[in-house]
Every structure is written in C-alpha cells, then in structure tokens.
C-alpha cells in the first residue's frame, strides 16, 4: 500500500483497484439506497378541473340581469354598450377563472370593484361645485354668538314652539354626559325621561341632524347669499362634521361590547395590533421551548422560567415571541402576547408550500427548507412542523445541519421563511413579465 495515499481512499475508492479487476462503486456511509436518477412520483398530477376549482371560480362571474341592462344606458353611451356586449359574448367565464389572478392574502379587498364607486367611509368626501358668481373666500368661521343664533333659528324652523324646551333638554343631556358618578341604569332612566319630553330618540336625532350638522351654523358670509348657495352649503358635501356611522340591518351581524372581566393585557394587545378580541382568541399559539434559567447575583441564584412560543392564524401570518419571568404562568403569557404582536405575513405558494428552497442560519444552526408537491405533507423536525402548521404551510421538507439548539432552530426557520423571493418582485427588478421569469403554465394560468 502506498504511503502517499490515505487508507480510507484505498479501501473504499474504485481508483485504488487495479484496472484489470472489476470496478467497485464507492461505498455509501448510510443505509439508504443510492439515488441514481430522478424518480417520478408514484401519484399522478392533480388538475384543477378535476377538483372543480375552475367551475367554482367561473360561477362568480355572472351575466348581466335585465335590471342591470336597464341601468347601463344611464351611464354608458350606445357605442360603449355595444362594446360591453361584444366583450361579454367573446370572453368565457372559464378563461377568466384560469387566467385572472385573485388575491387571497389577509389585506385583500372583500369585494370586486373598479374603484369608480365612491365609498363615504373610505374615500375623501366629494366637494360639489358652488353656483357661478359666488366666491368661497367670502365664507368665514362663525363666532360663538352667531353660531348660537343660527342654532336657535334652526330650532325655531324645525320645531316651532319647542325651542326653549329643546334647549333645556340639550343642556341636561350635556350634563349627563359629563357626569361620571351615575350608574348605567340611572343614566339610562334619566335619558329616557328627557327623551319623552321631546317625543323620543328618533325625533331628537332628526332635530339634532337638522341643527347641529348644518354647515350654516359653522360658516357665515358677510354678504348675503342666494338660496341656491345656502342649499349647497347645508348639504352633506359641505358638512362641518364627519358622517355618522351607518347601521347594518343584517341580523347575522351582532353588536357586542367587551365585558368588564376582559384581561387588560388583551385589550392593550388589540390596540397595538389592530385586531379584535375575537380575532386574537382565534390565533393559534404553540409553546415550543420552555426551561428554567438561573442568574447568579451577589444575592444568590435567581431562578426564572424561559418560554418561546409561535403564533399564527393558519393563513399566512406567523410570529415568534420569548419571555422570562419568575412565575412560569407570567412567562407563558408574555411569550404568547409577544408572538401575536410580532406576527408578519409569510409568502406561500398556492397557500400550501413555500417559494423555492430557502436557507437560514442563526448561531451554529443551519437549516434548509424545500418546497414540495401537493400531498407531500410536512416531513421535517417537530419544531419546524409546529411552525409550518400555525403558518398554514402543508407541503414542506426540511433538513437541519450542525447544531440542534431548539431556540436557534425556531429563529432560523422564521428567518428562512421571511427570506423567500417572490417571483413578481424578481420580474419587476429585471424589468420583465412574470411569465418570462417563472416559465410555468398550468391551465392557462402562470404560476
């Protein structure tokens, strides 16, 4: 045996065997069979038409009804109507279902709109044009005395003979709003007594809308204005106050107030995240790491509990949080709150797997996450399994190299999921279309 070659190479390598003998392949150091070539899956590809997804999406595009056809001439010209009819007959709803893209992320719009419709609660208020000959610069903010006179005159016009009574009821209602010592039952009894004097809540709301919400009570013109200008100023387009919140008549929607026994920490968390208490309660939270740590001080060893938790809504949101406390319950609650507070959107391909293979590294932990076809499942470490399940990922494989520290594995997995590259961003950076980047077609739709 030559001393210039290592012993392992001479024993297991085919190069050490003389050419006259049969070539022996290099030995494998694991029990699995060597992968000579790419193996095809044992199950066939599933088409969207077989699952009924195309028909389900196509059913959302309904044709125009007779009522819609009667309303279209009021907005479009005959030439535009002819173009609309030609487009409706030439485009198949199944083509729209396969080639049109619909957003399914948590921040999507809950309706299909062409953004030409005005929404009072979202869009800016529309400003109507004043009649010609009137200069808006003539308007100025009314003084307190002028505003009081305008409100008194409006009350006199709204309810003749009840001006003094309405003013007294208004002052009493103001005192009730400022008095915080009254109980809820006593406050409701006082309001009912005052409303009975003016004819009930509905009549009081009508009087309030016609007086306080009138713009003429807030803005006055030094020069007399015409009746047309006055009606324009009193309209909702020039209202001095914000529009009232509309009431929903849907019986399935119920207005509920939070009870007094709700945890203040949950209320604070709802204010920080913008989520309601019901949405916070529906978030999936899983504790992955829990152990005790000891801090050596001059007073001795202080023992604390360390908790690391993950949270997600099962639809693309994922967050991790960690907390330490002397009491394990406080540490668990703190970790849960931090995980919900730190939730971020995770890109998902087809709402089941990730975009390509990604790697993550935290400390000595190195791991690799790989995308997998439908039905593959979650074949990975138990910590990565729990993270993928709360994030809404169902087809994934992972490999963890070097260290197996639980805390760093969780952080490295979160880092790898956040480092995914969206094909749309790649195409936009290259100045090309997404079809040129992906080059994958499925039922007429670019994936």
Whether the per-residue pLDDT at 428 is higher than 70: the answer is: yes
pLDDT of residue 182: 75
* Token pair of 68 as six digits: 């819609």
Higher-confidence position of 247 and 90: 90
- Cα gap 361→379, rounded to integer Å: 20
Strands 441-442 and 445-446: antiparallel
How remote is the C-alpha of 295 from its chain's centroid?
Answer: 41
pLDDT of residue 398: 95
- Cα gap 382→359, rounded to integer Å: 18
pLDDT of residue 95: 84
346 CB-near residues (< 8 Å, 6+ apart) = 316, 317, 318, 391, 392, 393, 417, 418, 420
Higher-confidence position of 121 and 284: 284
Average pLDDT of the segment spanning 153-165: 63
* Token pair of 101 as six digits: 């893209």
Whether the per-residue pLDDT at 17 is higher than 50: the answer is: no
Assess contact for 272 and 376: CB atoms under 8 A.
Answer: no
Confidence of residue 258 (pLDDT cuts 50, 70, 90): very low
- Cα gap 447→426, rounded to integer Å: 14
Whether the per-residue pLDDT at 27 is higher than 60: the answer is: no
* pLDDT tens sequence across 125-151: 655 566 666 666 666 666 666 666 666
Whether the per-residue pLDDT at 194 is higher than 50: the answer is: yes
Burial per residue of 221-236, b for 16 or more beta-carbon CB atoms within 10 angstroms, e otherwise: beeebeeebeebbbee
Whether the per-residue pLDDT at 218 is higher than 60: the answer is: no
What percent of the chain is modeled with pLDDT above 70? Answer: 60
Average pLDDT of the segment spanning 402-422: 93
Higher-confidence position of 94 and 27: 94
54 CB-near residues (< 8 Å, 6+ apart) = 48, 94, 97, 98, 443
The DSSP secondary-structure symbol of 95 reads H
Average pLDDT of the segment spanning 198-224: 62
Whether the per-residue pLDDT at 31 is higher than 90: the answer is: no
Assess contact for 358 and 417: CB atoms under 8 A.
Answer: yes
The full DSSP string for 251-287 is: TT----PPPTTS-HHHHHHHHHH---HHHHHHSEEEE
Confidence of residue 10 (pLDDT cuts 50, 70, 90): very low
Whether the per-residue pLDDT at 224 is higher than 70: the answer is: no
Whether the per-residue pLDDT at 23 is higher than 80: the answer is: no
Task: Report the residue count for the chain.
Answer: 447
* pLDDT tens sequence across 67-116: 888 888 888 888 888 888 888 888 888 888 777 766 777 777 766 666 66
Q: How many helices (H) and strands (E) would you count in the chain? A: 18, 12
pLDDT of residue 408: 95
Confidence of residue 291 (pLDDT cuts 50, 70, 90): very high
Whether the per-residue pLDDT at 346 is higher than 50: the answer is: yes
- Which segments of 188-338 are extended strands (E)? 219-221, 284-297, 300-312, 317-325
Whether the per-residue pLDDT at 1 is higher than 50: the answer is: no
> Which of 146-160, 206-220, 259-273, 330-344 is most confident?
330-344
pLDDT of residue 16: 47
**pTM value?**
0.45
* Token pair of 47 as six digits: 């088409």
- Cα gap 208→159, rounded to integer Å: 11
- Cα gap 60→63, rounded to integer Å: 10
The overall longest dimension of the chain from CA atoms, in Å, is 123
> Which of 81-90, 161-170, 287-296 is most confident?
287-296
- Cα gap 188→167, rounded to integer Å: 20
pLDDT of residue 64: 86
Average pLDDT of the segment spanning 222-240: 61
Assess contact for 385 and 310: CB atoms under 8 A.
Answer: no
102 CB-near residues (< 8 Å, 6+ apart) = 57
In order of 322, 354, 393, 395, 442, the CA distances from 418 in angstroms are 18, 10, 13, 17, 26
Assess contact for 320 and 308: CB atoms under 8 A.
Answer: yes
Confidence of residue 49 (pLDDT cuts 50, 70, 90): confident
Whether the per-residue pLDDT at 12 is higher than 50: the answer is: no
């Amino acid at each position: 045996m030559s001393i210039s070659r290592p012993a392992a190479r001479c024993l297991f390598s085919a190069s050490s065997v003389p050419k006259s003998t049969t070539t022996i392949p290099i030995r494998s150091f694991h029990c699995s069979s060597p992968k000579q070539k790419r193996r095809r899956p044992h199950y066939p590809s599933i088409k969207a038409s077989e699952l009924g997804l195309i028909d389900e999406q196509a059913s959302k595009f309904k044709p125009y009804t007779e009522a819609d056809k009667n309303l279209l001439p009021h907005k479009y010209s005959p030439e535009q109507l002819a173009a609309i009819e030609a487009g409706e007959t030439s485009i198949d709803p199944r083509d729209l279902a396969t080639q049109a893209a619909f957003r399914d992320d948590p921040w999507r719009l809950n309706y299909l709109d062409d953004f030409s419709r005005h929404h009072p609660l979202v869009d800016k208020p529309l400003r109507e044009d004043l009649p010609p000959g009137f200069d808006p610069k003539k308007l100025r903010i009314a003084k307190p005395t002028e505003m009081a006179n305008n409100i008194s005159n409006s009350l006199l016009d709204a309810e003749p003979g009840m001006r003094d009574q309405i003013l007294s009821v208004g002052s009493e209602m103001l005192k009730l709003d400022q008095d915080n010592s009254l109980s809820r039952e006593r406050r409701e009894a006082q309001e009912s007594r005052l409303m009975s004097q003016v004819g009930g809540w509905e009549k009081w709301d009508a009087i309030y809308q016609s007086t306080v919400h009138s713009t003429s009570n807030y803005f006055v013109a030094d020069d007399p204005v015409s009746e047309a200008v006055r009606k324009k100023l009193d309209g909702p387009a020039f209202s001095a106050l914000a529009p009232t919140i509309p009431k929903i008549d849907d019986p399935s929607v119920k207005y509920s107030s939070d009870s007094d026994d709700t945890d203040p920490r949950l209320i604070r968390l709802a204010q920080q995240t913008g989520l309601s208490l019901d949405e916070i309660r529906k978030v999936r939270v899983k504790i992955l790491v829990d152990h005790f740590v000891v801090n050596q001080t001059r007073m001795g060893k202080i023992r604390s509990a360390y908790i690391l938790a993950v949270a997600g809504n099962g639809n693309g949101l994922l967050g991790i949080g960690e907390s330490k406390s002397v009491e394990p319950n406080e540490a668990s609650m703190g970790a849960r709150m931090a995980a919900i507070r730190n939730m971020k959107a995770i890109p998902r391909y087809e709402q089941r797997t990730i975009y390509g293979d990604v790697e993550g590294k935290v400390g000595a932990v190195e791991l690799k996450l790989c995308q997998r076809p439908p039905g593959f499942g979650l074949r990975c470490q138990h910590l990565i399994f729990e993270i993928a399940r709360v994030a809404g990922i169902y087809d994934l494989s992972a490999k963890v190299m070097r260290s197996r520290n639980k805390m760093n594995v969780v952080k490295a997995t979160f880092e790898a999921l956040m480092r995914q590259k969206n094909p749309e961003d790649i195409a936009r950076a290259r100045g090309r279309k997404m079809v040129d980047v992906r080059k994958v077609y499925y039922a007429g739709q670019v994936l």
